[in-house]
Homo-oligomer: A and B are copies of this chain.
């Protein structure tokens, strides 16, 4: 089954298994289901898009932090690639995409930051600053790898529609090969860091971080739905 296979045998899979209910609440959230089925109200999607723009800016900052926290040139290149992906690809894609939805970049930059956006982004950044590079990547994982899982599932889900789905571009962006590679690279980096800085003693705190970030992602979907 697609779901079970995604990232099997990785630290990510262990963290996900340890937070099964919270994880399901996130990747199977109504917002996600409706987006896949093409039934999500446009107001919900527009709210999400605008806040996601603000979110991406802080997420790029988190990758900058990961560059700073790196201990090897390889770590640094991994983080710099994630940063470039956001600044050069995701933000641009977002801006282009949003303009199709009638949201200009200038409008998005002026949006008040929702409490949900603030709670999530500052939690991740602060967790990464207080902890080490492994703590930071674990805090990023529900978003970076989770979006990969959601896209992967939607591409295979018989109840999801792409033809005639006004959100089809979103599904293809995250389910497509390029983003799947980004998610896989993030998972591999997580495993490398765990080999160098992890161990059984750290799992309890890492699970706390992963669960907290997962719940904050869930709140982010809910913020979208609440606008509809």
Contacts and interface: CB of A to CB of B under 8 A. Distances in A.
Nearest to A197: B202
Interface string A123-137: 101100111110100
Contacts of A73: 57, 87, 91, 109
Interface string A37-75: 000000000000000000001001111111111110100
A71 B195 contact: no
A215 B177 CA distance: 42
Contact of A119 (B66, B87, B119, B195): B119
Contacts of A216: 118
A115 interface: yes
Interface in A201-223: 201-202, 205, 216, 219
A133 B135 CA distance: 12
Interface in A165-215: 194-202, 205
Nearest to A204: B196
State how many copies of this chain the complex holds.
4
Contact of A135 (B118, B132, B196): B132
B130 A69 contact: yes
A77 interface: yes
Nearest to A109: B73
Contacts of A84: 80, 84
Given A119-B115, A122-B126, A132-B131, A67 B69 contact: no
15 contacts: A57-B73, A64-B64, A64-B68, A64-B76, A65-B67, A68-B68, A69-B130, A69-B131, A77-B87, A83-B83, A118-B216, A119-B122, A126-B129, A194-B201, A199-B202
